[in-house]
């Protein structure tokens, strides 16, 4: 029969078990499961197992008692004996105790019966013969151990720190003053070790008033946290971690004039579709009625000064009055506090300008019965745009169906959710037109500059004098340069003239005259009529002015999105994105990027011309359909998952004819060599290019 007993000590546990069970010492065997822990800091009960013997095996009571006492004595001697002396109690010297007397460690007489190793505490600094102890060492009986004891001043106990910006004051106890350092002796068979338990002190010898007086002496007068100081002094907060006991007040600069839109706005897109498609700001935007408040004008505020912990003012900057531009469809109230809509429409606040766009929603197809639409604002066609009809809008245009042999011109974005067949779409209005003109003009102007530079070099050459040029004619030199050094010069001029002529509407007279003049001088036999360099220099100068003007007009980016394009022309000052089958026998011009993605993403026949980048899934076809992909900027690139023979790649003036089908193709100009680099895997090749 067994019984488990628990007590403060082994003896206590055994005594309680015997009393509870009514057994005698002579009847039991005792097994100590846990001796327990005794000390100032840690206490753990002792646990014993009592087993009652058979009667035949029982010994006399006296034998059991002697056996038990001998067992306890041996086990107690073999265990690590920990003696903790609380420093604040200052016990009387004793031969079996270790304690501090002032700053000196007092050791008992029998401390050196075995080698005694001292392990220094973590925070309290101990000294041996005036040298700080950093590592364990064998203690010499002739050497005294001394600790640092803080003085009587607050500065001796604590660190009070003011931040660099003078906005915070923190306090913490110094590590050497924060802890009670209690000696703990551990006995082993061959040695003894002297360790130290460090306990954060419960009390400190100064009050909240002492801390406050110290702050006053240092000139700290603002934002003092009296409750925080009291909590820190009383030990309710850890004294070893920095605690903020004073805080300044940051300044609050005044706010500039605020313009607060008052109309509802939703980011819900017009139609649910794949998350990867950006609908280019065609959103379900809240509309307003005439007379409705659409913007609140909040005047600037003065701001509030701040203060450092020393009470020094921190001056706040007053807010600035900001102007507001009132666009079409808006007016201010008599008080000037609000802007109201002058008519029904869609409000838009951008770049400190407020305006109201009327939104025209056509409920079905655009047919001969309804006629075409011209509207100053956004237009939404719920159906299709059919043969010969069109839309011209100063805002965005959304067509829920298809556009067939129609024309759409918008100053904003164009989104056709179905197909574009035999149609002409322009997003960005004149912006798209001017942007394309600027790109193409840049190439022609580079050719004119090359001719002027070549003439200047030849004029300075002794082997080729001006008289020679006069005798042979400058026109022959120009014709020679065009045919040998500027092989794409004539085709670029013809392409620009053709593009210019195809554009509907009124065109700039200066551009019309410039194109007519350059065509006369450089196409066919035109160069032979050139007698001097001056007409070429004048063309270069006036063309540069035109290009700069066009680029100023082309600051806005408008975009086109469609599902499928066939036999159509698309122009956008921003991006063109085809998200379905692709583009067939069509001409796409984009000031930014052209992206043909989706289920097929095929471009077959026609021309792609982008400012920055072209990305398609399949470029050209197995039947070697003639297809041109052109990027206008030097740093541009063309990417295609699959490319076929018959495709012409052009970046700036660099051209490459694709002769073999390939995959994962990339084309871009190497800025080190100035040549067009081509990266492409052969059909069926598995190794990826890098």
E strand or H helix at 664: strand 662-669
Mean pLDDT within 349-370: 86
User: What integer pLDDT is reported at residue 469 of this predicted model?
Assistant: 57
Mean pLDDT within 68-92: 42
pTM: 0.47
Please state, in angstroms and rounded to a whole number, the distance separating the CA atoms of residues 168 and 27: 73
Task: Of 357, 333, 354, 353, give the one whose Cα is nearest residue 343.
Answer: 357
Residue 687 has pLDDT above 80, yes or no: no
Mean pLDDT within 25-52: 66
Higher pLDDT, 596 or 80: 596
What the block records as the tokens of 44 is 């753990």
Highest mean pLDDT among 272-286, 454-468, 476-490, 647-661: 647-661
SS3 615: strand
User: What integer pLDDT is reported at residue 373 of this predicted model?
Assistant: 85
Q: What are 276-322's pLDDT values in tens digits? A: 333 333 333 356 778 899 999 999 999 999 999 999 999 999 999 99
Q: In what order do the strands lie in the sheet with 353-357?
A: 325-326, 353-357, 346-350
Mean pLDDT within 569-575: 92
Q: What is the DSSP string of 253-321?
A: EPPPPEEEE-S-EEEEESS---TT---TT-EEE--B-TT-EEEEEEPP--EE-EE-TT--EEPPPPPPP
| Exposure class string for 242-263: b at 16+ Cβ within 10 A, else e | ebebbbbbeeebeeebebeeeb
User: What integer pLDDT is reported at residue 441 of this predicted model?
Assistant: 86
> Residues of the chain with pLDDT > 90: what percent?
30
Alpha helices in 473-522 (DSSP H): 474-484, 489-502, 509-522
Residue 661 has pLDDT above 60, yes or no: yes
Residue 39 has pLDDT above 60, yes or no: no
Burial of 608 (0-12, 13-18, 19+ CB in 10 A): buried
Mean pLDDT within 379-389: 90
Angle at 330 between CA 326 and CA 334, to 5 degrees: 90
User: What integer pLDDT is reported at residue 472 of this predicted model?
Assistant: 61
Spell out the domain ranges in the chain: 2-78, 87-247, 261-304+318-357, 359-429+558-682, 433-553
Q: How many CA atoms lie within 13 A of 619 on its CB side?
A: 34
Highest mean pLDDT among 79-88, 309-318, 354-363, 371-380: 309-318
Q: What is the DSSP string of 458-479?
A: HHT-TTS-HHHHHHH-HHHHHH
């Amino acid at each position: 029969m067994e019984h488990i007993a628990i007590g403060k000590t082994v003896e206590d546990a055994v005594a309680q078990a015997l009393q509870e069970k009514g057994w005698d010492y002579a009847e039991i065997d005792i097994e100590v499961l846990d001796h327990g822990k005794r000390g100032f800091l840690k206490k753990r009960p002792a646990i014993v197992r009592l087993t009652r013997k058979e009667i035949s095996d029982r010994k006399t009571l006296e034998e059991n008692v002697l056996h038990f006492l001998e067992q306890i004595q041996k086990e107690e001697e073999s265990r690590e004996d920990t003696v903790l002396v609380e420093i604040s109690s200052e016990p009387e010297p004793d031969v079996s105790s270790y304690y501090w007397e002032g700053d000196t460690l007092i050791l008992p007489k029998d401390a050196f019966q075995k080698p005694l190793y001292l392990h220094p505490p973590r925070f309290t600094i101990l000294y041996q013969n005036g040298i700080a102890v950093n590592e364990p060492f064998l203690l010499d009986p002739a050497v005294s151990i001394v600790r640092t004891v803080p003085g009587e001043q607050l500065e001796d106990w604590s660190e009070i720190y003011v931040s660099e910006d003078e906005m915070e004051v923190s306090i913490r106890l110094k590590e050497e003053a924060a802890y009670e350092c209690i000696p703990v002796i551990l006995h082993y068979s061959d040695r003894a070790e002297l360790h130290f338990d460090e306990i954060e002190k419960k009390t400190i010898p100064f009050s909240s008033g002492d801390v406050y007086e110290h702050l006053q002496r240092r000139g700290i007068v603002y934002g003092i946290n009296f409750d925080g100081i009291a909590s820190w002094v009383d030990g309710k907060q850890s004294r070893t971690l920095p605690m903020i006991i004073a805080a300044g007040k940051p300044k609050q600069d005044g706010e500039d004039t605020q313009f607060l839109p008052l109309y509802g706005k939703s980011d819900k897109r017009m139609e649910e579709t794949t998350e990867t498609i950006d609908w280019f700001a065609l959103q379900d935007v809240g509309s307003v009625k005439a007379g409705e408040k659409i913007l609140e004008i909040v005047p600037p505020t003065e701001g509030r000064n701040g203060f450092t912990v020393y009470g020094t003012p921190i001056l706040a900057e007053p807010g600035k009055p900001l102007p507001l531009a009132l666009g079409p469809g808006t007016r201010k109230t008599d008080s000037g506090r609000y802007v109201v809509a002058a008519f029904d429409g869609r409000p838009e606040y951008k770049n400190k300008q407020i305006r109201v766009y009327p939104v025209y929603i056509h409920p079905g197809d655009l047919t001969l019965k309804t006629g075409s639409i011209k509207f100053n604002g956004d237009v939404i066609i719920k159906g299709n745009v059919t043969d010969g009809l069109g839309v011209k809008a100063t805002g965005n245009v959304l067509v829920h169906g298809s556009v067939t042999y129609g024309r759409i011109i918008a100053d904003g974005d164009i989104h056709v959710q179905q197909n574009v067949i035999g149609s002409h779409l322009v997003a960005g209005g004149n912006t798209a037109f001017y942007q394309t003109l600027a790109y193409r003009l840049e190439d022609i102007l580079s050719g004119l500059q090359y001719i002027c530079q070549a003439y200047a070099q030849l004029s300075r050459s002794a082997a080729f004098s001006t008289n020679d040029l006069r005798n042979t004619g400058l026109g022959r030199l120009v014709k020679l340069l065009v045919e040998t050094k500027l092989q794409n010069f004539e085709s670029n001029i013809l392409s620009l003239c053709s593009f210019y002529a195809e554009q509907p509407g009124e065109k700039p007279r200066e551009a019309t005259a410039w194109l007519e003049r350059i065509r006369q001088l450089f196409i066919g036999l035109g160069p032979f009529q050139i007698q001097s360099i001056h007409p070429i220099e004048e063309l270069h100068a006036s063309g540069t002015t035109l290009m700069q003007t066009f680029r100023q007009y082309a600051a806005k980016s408008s975009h086109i999105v469609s599902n499928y394009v066939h036999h159509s022309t698309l122009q956008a000052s921003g991006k063109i994105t085809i998200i379905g089958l692709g583009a067939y026998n069509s001409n796409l011009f984009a000031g930014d990027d052209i992206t043909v993605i989706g289920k097929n993403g095929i471009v077959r026949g026609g021309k792609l011309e982008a400012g920055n980048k072209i990305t398609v899934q399949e470029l050209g076809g197995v039947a070697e359909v003639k297809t041109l992909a052109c990027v206008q900027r030097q740093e541009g690139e063309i990417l295609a998952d699959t490319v076929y023979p018959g495709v012409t790649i052009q970046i700036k003036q660099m051209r490459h004819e694709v002769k073999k089908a390939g995959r994962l193709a990339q084309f871009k100009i190497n800025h080190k060599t100035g040549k067009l680099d081509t990266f492409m895997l052969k059909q069926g090749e598995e190794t990826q290019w890098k």
